[in-house]
């Protein structure tokens, strides 16, 4: 990770993932939207880390041109690479790609919006705090300092 700039993350696809039984029977592949979710989650971490977990909510605002070039099947490991295009306090935009070795799996351009629930309703400040604490714990799990 280059804080505020790029992040690489990996996701392994396992036959143990329940939804694969439906997607699809006899031809299990990671659903396209979950490939996109991988890109979005990776970008969200870049935002949270850069903003020092100042906001609880980091949500997808828009996405365009998500292209699925190949299938991600059980046994494969997808590597996501996210590059920041713009990064502000409450909004950010990215380009993301997912590959498996040399094979390109997915590419997308998207924007996120980030805010606290308390911005609209001050009573939600405690909830914001709860979400942020959980995200900080999750980050420790995902990002092991080398």
Partner 1 sequence: MAMSRDDIFNQVREVLVDALGLDDGDVTEDATLMGDLGAESIDFLDIVFRLEKAFNIKVPREELFPAEAVMNNPEYVSGGKVTAKGLAELKSRMPHTNFSEFEKNPDVNKIADLFTVGAIVNFIEGKLK
Partner 2 sequence: MRWIWIDKFLEFESGKRAVALKNVTLAEEHLHDHFPGFPIMPECLMIEAMAQTAGILVGEARQFKEKVILAKIKNAVFYHYVQPGDTITLHAEIESIAPEAASTTGQIKRGDTLIAQISMMFSHVDKNLAGKHFPEENFVFTDMFNSLLSGFVDQKNAGGKN
Surface-to-core class of residue 101, CB atoms within 10 Å of its CB (0-12 exposed, 13-18 middle, 19+ buried): exposed
Identify the residue among 12, 15, 59, 69 touching partner 1 (CB under 8 A). Answer: 69
Q: Determine which one of 6, 17, 23, 115 is catalytic.
A: 23
Note whether 16 and 77 are within 8 A (CB).
Answer: no
109 binds partner 1 (CB under 8 A): yes
> What's the gap between Cα 127 and its chain centre?
22
Which does residue 37 touch among partner 1, partner 2, none (CB within 5 to 8 A, set by kind)?
partner 2
Identify the residue among 25, 26, 65, 146 touching partner 1 (CB under 8 A). Answer: 65
Instruction: Please name the residue that has the structure tokens 């699809």.
Output: 24
Which does residue 40 touch among partner 2, partner 1, none (CB within 5 to 8 A, set by kind)?
partner 2
Which does residue 73 touch among partner 2, partner 1, none (CB within 5 to 8 A, set by kind)?
none
> Rounded to an integer, what distance in angstroms lies between the CA atom of residue 10 and that of residue 29?
16
Note whether 78 and 134 are within 8 A (CB).
Answer: no
97 binds partner 2 (CB under 8 A): no
Instruction: Please name the residue that has the structure tokens 């390109």.
Output: 104
DSSP state of 7: E
142 binds partner 2 (CB under 8 A): no
- From residue 53 to residue 72, what is the string marking binding to partner 2 with x (rule CB under 8 A)? ---xx-xxxxxxxxxx-xx-
Residues tagged active-site: 23
Interacting residues toward partner 1 by CB under 8 A: 64-65, 67, 69, 109
């Amino acid at each position: 990770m280059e804080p505020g700039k790029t992040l690489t993350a990996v996701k392994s696809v396992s036959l143990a993932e329940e939804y694969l039984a439906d997607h699809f029977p006899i031809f299990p592949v990671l659903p396209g939207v979950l490939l996109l979710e991988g890109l979005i989650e990776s970008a969200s971490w870049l935002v949270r880390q850069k903003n020092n977990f100042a906001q609880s909510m980091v949500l997808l605002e828009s996405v365009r041109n998500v292209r699925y070039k190949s299938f991600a099947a059980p046994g494969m490991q997808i590597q996501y690479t996210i590059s920041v295009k713009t990064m502000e306090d409450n909004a950010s935009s990215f380009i993301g790609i997912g590959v498996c070795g040399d094979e390109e799996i997915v590419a997308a351009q998207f924007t996120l919006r980030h805010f606290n629930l308390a911005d609209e309703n001050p009573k939600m400040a405690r909830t914001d705090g709860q979400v942020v604490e959980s995200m900080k714990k999750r980050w420790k799990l995902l990002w092991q300092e080398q």
